[in-house]
Amino acid sequence: MDGILNINKPEGMTSFGVVAIVRKLSGVKRVGHAGTLDPAASGVLPVGIGQGTRVIEFLVNTTKTYRAEIELGIATDTYDASGRVTQQKAPAGISREQFESALNSFRGAIQQIPPMYSAVKYHGQPLYKLARSGIAVERKSRRAEVYRLEITDWQLPVATVEVECSKGTYIRSIAHDLGQLLGCGAHLKSLVRIRCGTFNIGDAISMSQIEDAFRHGYWQHFVYPLDSVLLNWGAIVVGSAVETALKNGSSVVLGNDSGGQGRRLEVQPPAENYYRAYTSDGRLLGVLRFNVETGRWQPEKVFL
pLDDT in tens, 3-40: 999 999 999 999 999 999 999 999 999 999 998 898 88
pLDDT band at 139 (very low <50, low <70, confident <90, very high): confident
Q: Do 69 and 173 belong to one domain? A: yes
pLDDT tens by residue, 250-273: 999 886 544 343 334 456 666 567
Among candidate residues 178, 207, 228, the one where a domain is terminated: 228
* pLDDT at 133 > cutoff 60: yes
* pLDDT at 1 > cutoff 90: no
Distance CA 261, CA 103 (A): 58
Of these residues, 38, 77, 80, 227, which one is catalytic?
38
Residue 86: how many other CB atoms lie within 10 Å = 14
Using DSSP bridges, classify how beta strands 85-88 and 125-126 pair: parallel, antiparallel or unpaired. Answer: unpaired
Indicate which CATH number applies to the domain containing 208: 3.30.2350.10
The stretch 81-104 carries a mean pLDDT of 94
Q: Do 173 and 69 belong to one domain? A: yes
Q: Do 92 and 142 belong to one domain? A: yes
Q: What local confidence, expressed as pLDDT, does residue 268 receive?
A: 63
Q: Do 35 and 122 belong to one domain? A: no
Q: What local confidence, expressed as pLDDT, does residue 258 receive?
A: 40
Q: Do 44 and 148 belong to one domain? A: no
Q: Do 68 and 139 belong to one domain? A: yes
The stretch 86-94 carries a mean pLDDT of 93
Number of domains in the chain: 3
The pTM assigned to this predicted structure is: 0.89
Q: Do 286 and 139 belong to one domain? A: no
Q: Do 55 and 202 belong to one domain? A: yes
Q: Do 251 and 183 belong to one domain? A: no
* Structural domain harbouring 167: 64-196
Residue 77 a catalytic site member: no
- The residues near 166 (Cβ < 8 Å, ≥ 6 apart) are 63, 64, 144, 145, 146, 147
Q: Do 185 and 203 belong to one domain? A: no
